[in-house]
A and B are shown apart, each in its own frame.
Chain A
Amino acid sequence: MSDIFDIAIIGAGPGGMSAALEAAQQGASVAVLDRKATPGGQIYRDVTQSPLLDPSVLGREYTEGAELVRAFLEADIDRHQNADVWHIGENGEVLYSQDNQTRRLVARELIISPGAMERPFPIEGWHLPGVMTAGSAQVMLKSDGMVKDGAIFAGTGPLLYLIVAQYLRLGVTVNAVVDTTPAGGVGRAMQHLGGALRKPAYLIKGLKLLNEIRRAGVPVFRHASNLSILGESKAVGLQFQQDGRTHSINAGHIFLHQGVIPNLNMTRALGMEHHWAEQQLCWTPVLDDWGQSSIPHIAVVGDAAGIQGAEAARHAGRLAALKAMNKLGKLNDADLQQESSANLKAIKSFKAFRSFLDAYYPPTPEHRIPVATNTLVCRCEEQTMGQLRAGFEQGAKDPNALKALTRCGMGPCQGRQCGHTVSELLADWQNKPVSDIGYYRLRSPQRLLSVEELSQFQNIKPVQKPAEVSA
């Protein structure tokens, strides 16, 4: 029942699809496992089967993805949708859940592209019904054509302005935009201006979005700080400060956003080496220019490798596929270098542009590292900042000790919504760099699994690290 492939790719976003296309074109046998019902990742979600009459309102960066998705669907690739990978083990073994059953495949090389998620926004009341992420507004629009009138959009970053502009084009009312981008953005980003000027089209697009929002007459509160959600059992409004004054706006729905971070669970459960990326304020796997990780035969591409966006992901996907072909002995070193050069160069310019965005739209400390003791940090196990602080004072100085003591990070989301906050809180309390603090130790299964499904596997071995192999 097991199939052996040259290359298995996990995730069918722009990075995974590009890697698959390149590998298939080079003659490799390729399997792609994707968690969603249709390929495209979050960015090109349902782009070839939009529920909207006119998907062009979502912008060209979205609709242009259709070409890649179609090419992917037509290529000689073993595609598996609704395939939720829960374990990657030694010898290229991949276990995934599909139709409530676990299936297995084996590959010589693995390229994983689990994508990004929105940065947690741990403020008072962020767990209340009625509070969602701005990314969720876009997901609901792309896959279901579903919208919410009269919501507040709060936070910072290009995605926030994009979804507001998309809503306005569709005639959806927006209550207000509460923008937490701190004043002095140009000064902060000045040293990266060269990077911005390498992508003038993106820069102009960003300015156009802001103009579109202003022209529509939506109230925009700039340089807002100290956000908190109002409400007891559900959200009823948003409170914030601006120019030293406290404002509150009533609304039953608030969409929050402060950028995206790599979706870490797969790379962490593999035991891959990670580092704290100071510029992006997130954990990122340590990779070479071709996406090769610290674990032999496993590469990481796309936003899970560090946030660079969809276009950079396409270049990274191709590079990882070329390198995999090289390792499989199907592409010689000289050809690898020659084939890679344009993609390596392109990624460099996307990185320079991203540095500008990261500096311009920083997630501010007060919305990453909670100050109010009753702010929930771990939503699943309902652990507040105050409870974590108490655990810290009892001696839990690192994320795993704090997890053991308080249960933070032990719920169904497996630390996705609290991991970064916990790393940063512990660093802050000890006045240490986050890189010294580390992150939760994660293990398979990487999804909720019924005992019935899990019990089919009696012998699940983790991936071997190089040191263990040579020992």
Chain B
Amino acid sequence: MFRSLRKPETQSVSININGQTVQVAEGSSLWAAMALHGETQTRLASVSGQQRSAYCAMGVCFECLVEINGVPNQQACMTTVEEGMHVSSQHLTEQSIAALHQKESADHE
């Protein structure tokens, strides 16, 4: 587990990560907030569907893409937590997107 050495007087905000409401330090990066709650899976690899996690934590690897308030492809490491934020690991893959398109065109017929 990651652990925090943050000074104790920090204020906290409440966010929801993968369905669970947790208290996290105000001003935290979303990646840190996730990692401190054991939620280290960010996105799935787009071709193989394998689990991925943050690699660089500074915005250049794009491994930490997550869904924030329903919007996918957001970099957790570049996002500051905000009260009431809803976050989930991203499950978009080439396969899931293709399935979505198939369903859409079937619905139109």
Contacts and interface: CB of A to CB of B under 8 A. Distances in A.
Interface of A: 35-37, 42, 49, 51-53, 117-118, 127, 129-133, 135-136, 139-141, 143-149, 170, 233-234, 263, 379-382, 411-413, 416-417, 448, 450
B12 interface: no
A42 B60 CA distance: 12
A51 B10 contact: yes
A163 to B, nearest CB: 12
Contacts of B7: 51-53, 145
Contacts of A127: 45, 52, 55
Interface in B35-69: 35-36, 40-41, 45-48, 50-63, 65
A170 B46 contact: no
Contacts of A411: 46, 62
A49 B25 CA distance: 14
Interface in B1-37: 2-7, 10, 25, 27-29, 31-32, 35-36
B80 interface: yes
B5 to A, nearest CB: 4
A413 B61 contact: yes
B5 A129 contact: no
| Dominant SS among interface residues on chain A | loop
A143 B29 contact: yes
For chain B, the bracket of interface size reads 35 or more
B9 to A, nearest CB: 10
A140 B57 contact: yes
B48 A382 contact: yes
Contact of B51 (A131, A146, A233): A233
Contact of B56 (A51, A135, A144, A147): A135
Nearest to B65: A412
Contacts of B10: 51
Contacts, number: 115
A146 B60 contact: no
A146 B32 contact: yes
B53 A130 contact: yes
Contact of B55 (A49, A53, A136, A141): A136
A51 B25 contact: yes
A29 B78 CA distance: 28
B57 A136 contact: yes
A117 B57 CA distance: 11
Given A263-B60, A380-B62, A412-B73, A51 B6 contact: yes
A140 B28 CA distance: 10
Contacts of A118: 56
B55 A144 contact: no
A146 B35 contact: yes
B46 A139 contact: no
A145 B6 contact: yes
Contacts of B3: 146-149
Contacts of B51: 129, 233-234
Nearest to A232: B50
Contact of B36 (A136, A139, A146, A379): A146
A52 B61 CA distance: 26
Contact of A144 (B6, B54, B62, B73): B6
A67 B99 CA distance: 54
B47 A382 contact: yes
A49 B28 CA distance: 12
A417 B54 CA distance: 13
Contact of A416 (B5, B54, B61, B73): B61
The 3 closest A-B pairs by CB, nearest first: A136-B57, A129-B53, A144-B32
A467 to B, nearest CB: 31
6 contacts: A52-B5, A129-B41, A139-B77, A140-B32, A233-B50, A413-B62
B40 to A, nearest CB: 6
A215 B9 CA distance: 33
Nearest to B71: A450
A143 B30 CA distance: 11
Contacts of A413: 60-62
A37 B80 contact: yes
Contact of A148 (B2, B52, B78): B2
A141 B58 CA distance: 12
Contacts of A379: 55, 61, 63
A140 B30 CA distance: 11
Nearest to B52: A129
A51 B77 CA distance: 16
A139 B59 CA distance: 11
B37 to A, nearest CB: 12
